[in-house]
């Protein structure tokens, strides 16, 4: 992922202002360590920190049209850029960069070209002919983006809060799937597929259609001129991504750098569930597997860096981001610049364990829609910023625009979890890749039940975090929490600990408002409780302890000897407090 920063209409074209913009842009250098660029036109500045993935030799930014009247700074990947170039027959391109098409598409189609882009992106486009500009963010919000306003009437755009938090009177998260135009001064939603209205879809489930759509989503993300790999936890989602990628590389002659054998990466505490599961999948697929270990203390020592880079105080996001943050540093040390990851599947297919309790298909579908719409605040934010902290790019095929349209058009009755019919969570995805003749994965892996990422890296990880917070946050501090933090008041010592660190880095009121909480979190909890009142006393947002769901997924008559060891080993701790299986 690259880093972009733009200051638009700041009424100051002095050298001092240029120096300040450069200084702020350098705060994003971790996102793009390969090159820096800055273009100034009057009182507008477009800065870029580049992570070179496609055309590393000539794709430096900002990018321009032929006469340099249109300037663009982009963070993202445009997977259909070659197809788009063919449509732009009367245009000449300066680079081989996939993002080079944006300025030319604007020339040809005006502001309405954004929906033509197949990829993930955040960009600022300046038309110097009338000094107008547009800003846009991808459909789901895989790339991070913030917008701010200065007292002098300037508009600020940055990939991360740290690029603008000291210089803006107010700033907020730029909404996914939206475009902002200086001509109107308002946000306009450019991404508005049928599922977004939450109308109940009715397309019959066809496993082959779903399979092909996901294979296409994975394959298009192999567009790279640098070494890459896959993140492999051993769960269903990452294992399918790895399987499709390995098949494609084995059947083509286009693989570069590391050859046709896929490299996979996993992180965890010693003997954690993810390490064991990933090792098994890697052996089956024949990947070159890299296993990274960390200790609870390693993770605790990294918490401050994690919060600075992830820019949130959300508990589950920090829990899951820390191992990913540590792993990304190791991956980058191997010379890898891009990885493919499995975020988004649980939201699309109702993979969280509380979906077992969904009372009907309407409720099921509405909850998947709500969770997809919130992804930019949770898993997308984690995947984007935890990897970008080390100049590593994460690509997420489950959030491919075309794949989502296919998956969210399926009648949700097919997604419903029905134990009496042998249908566990994400059954339609598992069934789509259950190929007897040419298996993608072994059956027991294909039908393995979900594990939360923050638990899969090792069950003692969360316990260690709680114990550490307990040492640094007193009961007296908790009694006064609502006075110190009246907005999104932390209700646990762990949450209070994270909030203290966050406020030190980002003390502005605008910053704390970018983090979801209050009604958003209450909505998640309320839905789970509405479906099963046994969860009303939940004290922890992790999915680790949904014991009733874990056990009910297996036949009540199943002997303990046939249950997964991770379920058996943690029965005592999970009985202590009923908790709900909600990651976000």
Q: Please check whether residue 153 is in contact with residue 204, taking contact to mean a CB–CB distance below 8 angstroms.
A: no
Place of tokens 């072994």: 442
341 is in an annotated binding site: yes
Alpha carbons 167 and 190: distance in angstroms, whole number = 29
Catalytic annotation, residues: 2
391 is in an annotated binding site: no
Closest by alpha carbon to 142, among 523, 327, 401, 317? 401
Q: Record the tokens describing residue 502, joined without a space.
A: 């966050």
**Cut 0.85: pTM above it:** yes
**DSSP one-letter code for 164:** T
100 is in an annotated binding site: no
Strands in 170-173's sheet, in edge-to-edge order, are 35-41, 44-50, 3-8, 155-158, 146-149, 170-173
- What digits encode the pLDDT tens for the residues 142-151? 999 999 999 9
222 is in an annotated binding site: no
DSSP 5-33: EEEES-S--SHHHHHHHHHHHHTTGGG-T
User: How far lies 143's CA from each of 21, 139, 223, 383, 389, in Å?
Assistant: 21, 10, 17, 9, 13
342 is in an annotated binding site: yes
* E strands present in 159-287: 170-173, 178-181, 186-189, 228-231, 263-268
Q: Record the tokens describing residue 92, joined without a space.
A: 């000449």
**In terms of C-beta density within 10 A (0-12 exposed, 13-18 middle, 19 or more buried), how is residue 450 classed?**
buried
Identical topology for domains 3-192 and 207-576: no
The CATH class of the 207-576 domain is alpha beta
| Per-domain boundaries in the chain | 3-192, 207-576
Q: What is the pLDDT of residue 137?
A: 98
Low-confidence ranges of the chain (pLDDT < 50): 255, 257, 544-545, 547, 553-584
Q: Taking the domain 3-192, which CATH number applies?
A: 3.60.20.10
Place of tokens 């860096």: 305
């Amino acid at each position: 992922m690259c880093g972009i920063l733009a200051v638009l209409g700041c009424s100051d074209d002095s050298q001092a202002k240029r120096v300040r913009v450069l200084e702020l842009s350098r705060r994003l250098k971790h996102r793009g360590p390969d090159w820096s660029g800055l273009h100034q036109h009057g009182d507008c500045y477009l800065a870029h920190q580049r992570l070179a993935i496609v055309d590393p030799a000539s794709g430096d930014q900002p990018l321009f049209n032929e006469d340099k009247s249109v300037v663009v700074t982009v963070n993202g990947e445009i997977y259909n850029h070659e197809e788009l170039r063919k449509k732009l027959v009367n245009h000449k391109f300066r680079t081989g960069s996939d993002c080079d098409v944006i300025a030319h598409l604007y020339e040809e189609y005006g502001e309405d070209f954004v929906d033509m882009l197949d990829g993930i992106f955040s960009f600022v486009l300046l038309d110097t002919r009338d000094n107008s500009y547009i800003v846009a963010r991808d459909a789901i919000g895989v790339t991070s983006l913030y917008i701010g306003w200065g007292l002098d009437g300037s508009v600020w755009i940055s990939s991360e809060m740290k690029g603008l938090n000291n210089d803006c009177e107010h700033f907020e998260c730029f909404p996914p799937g939206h475009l902002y135009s200086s001509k109107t001064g308002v946000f306009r939603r450019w991404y508005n597929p049928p599922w977004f209205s939450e109308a109940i879809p009715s397309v019959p489930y066809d496993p082959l259609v779903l399979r092909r759509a996901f294979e296409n989503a994975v394959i298009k993300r192999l567009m790279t001129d640098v070494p890459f790999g896959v993140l492999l936890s051993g769960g269903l989602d990452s294992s399918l991504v790895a399987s499709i990628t390995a098949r494609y590389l084995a059947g083509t002659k286009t693989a570069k750098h590391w050859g046709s054998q896929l490299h996979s990466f996993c992180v965890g505490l010693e003997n954690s569930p993810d390490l064991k599961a990933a090792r098994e999948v890697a052996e089956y697929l024949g990947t070159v597997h890299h296993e990274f270990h960390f200790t609870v203390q390693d993770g605790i020592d990294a918490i401050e860096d994690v919060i600075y880079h992830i820019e949130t105080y959300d508990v589950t996001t920090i829990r899951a981001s820390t191992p990913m943050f540590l792993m990304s540093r190791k991956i980058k040390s191997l010379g890898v610049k891009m990885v493919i990851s499995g975020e988004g599947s649980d939201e699309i297919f109702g993979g969280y364990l509380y979906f077992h309790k969904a009372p009907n298909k309407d409720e099921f579908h509405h909850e998947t829609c709500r969770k997809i719409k919130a992804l930019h605040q949770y898993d997308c934010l984690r995947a984007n910023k935890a990897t970008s902290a080390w100049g590593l790019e994460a690509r997420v095929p489950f959030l491919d625009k075309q794949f989502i349209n296919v998956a969210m058009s399926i009648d949700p009755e097919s997604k419903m979890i029905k134990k009496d019919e042998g249908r566990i969570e994400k059954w339609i995805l598992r069934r789509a890749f259950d190929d007897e003749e040419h298996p993608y994965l072994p059956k027991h892996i294909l039908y393995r039940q979900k594990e939360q990422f923050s638990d899969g890296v090792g069950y003692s990880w969360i316990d260690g975090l709680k114990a550490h917070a307990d040492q640094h946050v007193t009961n007296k501090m908790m009694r006064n929490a609502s006075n110190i933090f009246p907005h999104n008041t932390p209700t646990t010592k762990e949450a209070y600990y994270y909030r203290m660190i966050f406020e030190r880095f980002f003390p502005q009121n605008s910053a704390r408002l970018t983090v979801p909480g209050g009604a958003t979190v209450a909505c998640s909890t309320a839905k789970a409780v509405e479906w099963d009142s046994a969860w009303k006393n939940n004290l922890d947002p992790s999915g680790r302890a949904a014991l009733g769901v874990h056990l009910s997924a297996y036949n009540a008559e199943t002997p303990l000897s046939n249950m997964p060891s991770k379920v058996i080993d943690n029965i005592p701790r999970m009985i202590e407090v009923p908790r709900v299986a909600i990651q976000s």
